């Protein structure tokens, strides 16, 4: 049976926080997604027959001045990782169904069911770790907890790590207690420390985007506080509305607390933005100085490079000159060796002729000596050495040099070169007498 008691008769006068609110419901089969969807839209849109469909269902309704776009994904049974179609539907609803992405992903859990670590890991792999920044955990069938608090249930079922991941954004729904579900969801959405919408692709919390989103939310919350205060003033004189007024006071206090939190976050982001700008300016200045220094260094290197190029060019010219000089010297050396070979041939021929002349002269001298010896009565040996010295003295320096060369290289009359090379005529005559007798 639907609850006919409305908390406020003039809800349309209260300013909502969001003009448009985009939500995605996910959960296992039997978790109560249809019930929650109907409670959010305040209309029986989802029925038993829609729960049998294996594709997502999207509905749009206007509730208390807010246009709500709600997509309910098909549930999974057991291990989500084995249900490929369900995984595709979940990713589609979050990634492409809404152009700007949903404001929140509502994970519906029955207090009698358990969400396994495997399913948590599968959801994280499908929607990235950014999913938890935009997730609200909603427990259904809260009346089955009895006297147990929801916090005790979370600890007993080891769900605290999941709740912490979601920024402690959770609440429990009891049967026929869904009048303020939209207000609760709105409050939990604005408590997110992230951008308003969940964009699966390239999800980043840009400081400028956060500032603009939060400043917008703060203004909307202030407008709602003003409208709630105005409604409260209208009802102050009615004693029957005391409980309603207390409830609205509590809601105002919660919203004012959110405003204060967001203001602190805005100040923190503005301070971080200012520091970032200062750091960027400082880094740009340092980079400009480095570029200037490197530019000057590059100019110096270019000048040095030009100087080195000129030096290299000069050295190349010197090398070419040296190569030409070396080539000339090599040609002269070849010509000189050819000349030496020719000279040696001619010299050997002249030496042979000289030795023949010397031999003839020696024979003539010998005859003369013999004749003199006959006259000198037995002094033949002494006369021969004088005659040999006389013969050597009669030779020119050039003929003497040729004779020494022939004496060293003639096979028949060879004398060791060191014995004759630096000797004068007297020493040479003495050496010849010792060598040949």
pLDDT, one tens digit per residue, over 370-404 is 545 444 544 555 677 888 888 988 999 889 888 88
Q: What is the mean pLDDT of the chain?
A: 80
| Residue 414 to residue 267: CA distance in whole angstroms | 118
Among 161, 185, 201, give the residue marking a domain's end.
Answer: 201
Strands (E), 75-220: 104-110, 135-140, 170-172
Residue 237 backbone dihedrals phi, psi, to 5 degrees: -85, 0
Percent of the chain with pLDDT over 70: 80
For residue 40, being part of any structural domain is answered with yes
Q: Which residue has the higher pLDDT, 341 or 313?
A: 313
pLDDT confidence band for 301 (50 / 70 / 90): confident
* C-beta separation of 13 from 36 below 8 A: no
Q: Residues 14-27: pLDDT tens digits?
A: 677 888 899 999 99
Contacts of range 253-261, beta carbons closer than 8 Å, 24 or more positions apart: 254/187, 255/187, 255/221, 255/224, 255/225, 255/228, 256/225, 258/187, 258/190, 258/191, 258/221, 259/218, 259/221, 259/222, 259/225, 261/191
Q: Which residue has the higher pLDDT, 253 or 12?
A: 253
How many folded domains does the chain comprise? Answer: 2
175-189, 192-206, 399-413, range with the lowest pLDDT: 192-206
* C-beta separation of 21 from 66 below 8 A: yes
pLDDT at 6: 41
Model confidence at 331: pLDDT above 70: yes
Residue 69 backbone dihedrals phi, psi, to 5 degrees: -105, 115
| Residue 243 to residue 63: CA distance in whole angstroms | 23
pLDDT confidence band for 325 (50 / 70 / 90): confident
For residue 283, being part of any structural domain is answered with no
Phi-psi region of 146 (alpha: psi -120 to 50; beta: other; left: phi over 0): left
For residue 409, being part of any structural domain is answered with yes
For residue 313, being part of any structural domain is answered with no
pLDDT at 381: 58
Average pLDDT over residues 192-217: 69
pLDDT at 382: 62
pLDDT at 425: 87
Model confidence at 415: pLDDT above 70: yes
For residue 210, being part of any structural domain is answered with no
pLDDT at 123: 93
pLDDT at 10: 44
Which of 83-97, 164-178, 222-236 is the most confident on average?
83-97
Among 201, 236, 260, give the residue marking a domain's end.
Answer: 201
Tell me the C-alpha to C-alpha distance, in Å, between residue 25 and each of 58, 122, 226, 424, 435.
Answer: 10, 16, 31, 129, 132
Model confidence at 419: pLDDT above 90: no
Q: Residues 128-179: pLDDT tens digits?
A: 999 999 999 999 988 888 888 999 999 988 999 999 999 999 999 887 666 6
pLDDT confidence band for 215 (50 / 70 / 90): confident
For residue 284, being part of any structural domain is answered with no
Among 149, 180, 201, give the residue marking a domain's end.
Answer: 201
Percent of the chain with pLDDT over 90: 20
pLDDT confidence band for 360 (50 / 70 / 90): low
For residue 316, being part of any structural domain is answered with no
For residue 300, being part of any structural domain is answered with no
Domain hosting residue 98, numbered range: 11-201
pLDDT at 371: 45
CATH code, 172:
3.40.50.300
């Amino acid at each position: 049976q639907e609850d006919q008691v409305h908390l406020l008769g003039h809800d349309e006068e209260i300013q909502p926080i969001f003009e448009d609110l985009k939500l995605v419901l996910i959960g296992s089969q039997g978790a109560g997604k249809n019930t929650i969807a109907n409670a959010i839209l305040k209309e029986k849109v989802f029925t038993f027959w829609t729960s049998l469909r294996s594709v997502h269902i999207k509905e749009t309704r206007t509730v208390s001045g807010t246009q709500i776009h709600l997509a309910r994904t098909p549930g999974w049974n057991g291990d989500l990782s084995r249900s490929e179609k369900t995984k595709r539907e979940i990713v589609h609803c979050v990634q492409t169904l809404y152009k700007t992405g949903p404001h929140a992903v509502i994970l519906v859990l029955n207090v009698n069911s358990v969400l396994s670590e495997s399913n948590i890991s599968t959801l994280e792999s499908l929607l990235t770790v950014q999913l938890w920044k935009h997730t609200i955990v909603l427990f259904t069938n809260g009346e089955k907890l009895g006297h147990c608090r929801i916090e005790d249930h979370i600890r007993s079922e080891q769900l605290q790590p999941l709740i912490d991941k979601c920024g402690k954004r959770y609440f429990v729904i009891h049967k026929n207690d869904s009048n303020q579900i939209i207000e609760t969801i709105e409050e939990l959405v604005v408590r997110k420390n992230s951008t308003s919408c969940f964009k699966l692709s390239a999800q980043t919390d840009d400081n400028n985007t956060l500032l603009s989103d939060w400043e917008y939310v703060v203004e909307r919350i202030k407008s709602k506080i003003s409208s709630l205060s105005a409604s409260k003033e209208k009802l102050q004189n009615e004693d029957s509305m005391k409980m309603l007024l207390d409830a609205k006071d509590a809601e105002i206090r919660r919203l004012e607390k959110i405003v204060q939190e967001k203001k602190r976050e805005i100040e923190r982001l503005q301070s971080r933005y200012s520091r970032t700008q200062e750091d960027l300016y400082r880094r740009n200045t340092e980079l400009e100085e480095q570029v200037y220094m490197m530019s000057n260094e590059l100019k110096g290197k270019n000048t040095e490079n030009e100087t080195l190029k000129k030096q290299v060019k000069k050295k190349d010219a010197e090398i070419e000159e040296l190569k030409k000089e070396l080539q000339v010297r090599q040609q002269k050396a070849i010509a000189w060796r050819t000349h030496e070979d020719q000279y040696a041939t001619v010299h050997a021929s002249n030496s042979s002729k000289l030795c023949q002349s010397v031999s003839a002269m020696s024979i003539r001298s010998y005859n003369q000596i013999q004749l003199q010896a006959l006259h000198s009565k037995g002094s033949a040996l002494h006369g021969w050495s004088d005659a040999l010295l006389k013969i050597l003295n009669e030779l020119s320096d050039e003929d003497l040099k040729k004779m020494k060369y022939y004496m060293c290289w003639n096979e028949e009359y060879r004398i060791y070169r060191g014995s004759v090379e630096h000797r004068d005529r007297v020493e040479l005559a003495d050496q010849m007498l010792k060598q040949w007798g």
